[in-house]
Amino acid sequence: FLVSNPRQRMAWLGVLALAGVDVRTDPTRLVPLIAPAGPRRRATRAPLLVAGGAAWPWQDPRPGLDVALALLDERGEGRVVWYGGKPLVGDTVGAWSLPAHPRLEAPGWVPRETLLHASAGATAALDWMAPNPERALAFSFRHADYLGCGLPIITGPDTALTDLPGEWGWVTNEAHLAETLVQALDYAADRRRRGRAAREAASLHLSLAACAPLVAWVEAGTCHPR
């Protein structure tokens, strides 16, 4: 049973025990998502925040977007670009929708190379959502992409991302999100330091070498007849 982070392991052990799996010996293997070797970072003239994901009903990024867009309006510059939108599969009844705002762009689903190029040229990633159980257990592919591109991330305190070692970004609650955004936008030296920490975290914890447990399982596996 493969898990992408320790929180998933703890959650699944209970489910597996209820399903009759013997969990006295850990039946899971931790296999992290792999971060890319992203493009070289590029400076931006005006603040540019990238964000994204599918419009799943159990997630709500609107509180964070509202704070960010209000701040950019107050400053008179900057934009947020949201990559993603309606899921390609699955039921989205009750899902949220992006607010209509002149500083918010939504190109939809784009090729991964486009995402990596955008991340390399952004100021920071805005990955702040209202607390929910699914986000508390999930480590997203976009997290790995942001980190691999050296892009510092602004996120909430309840996400699995916060368990990753290093100062790869900023962790804040809704009450302090605006001041955290100001810090991310205005302090270039600190932002660059956190960007370097993001790449370091990716290379240490989200690399092919970190997938050794999966490789060992495949190499030690036995074939079973149907």
Q: Considering the entire predicted model, what is its pTM?
A: 0.91
- pLDDT tens digit string along 66-91? 999 999 999 999 999 999 988 888 77
- pLDDT tens digit string along 172-197? 999 999 999 999 999 999 999 999 99
Nearest one of 166, 171, 170, 172 to 198, comparing CA atoms: 166
- pLDDT tens digit string along 86-99? 888 877 777 889 99
- Which one-letter amino acid corresponds to residue 103? R
pLDDT of residue 18: 97
User: For the residues 100-115, what does the mean pLDDT come to?
Assistant: 96
- Spatial neighbors of 33 by CB under 8 A, at least 6 apart, are 4, 139, 140, 141, 143, 144, 206
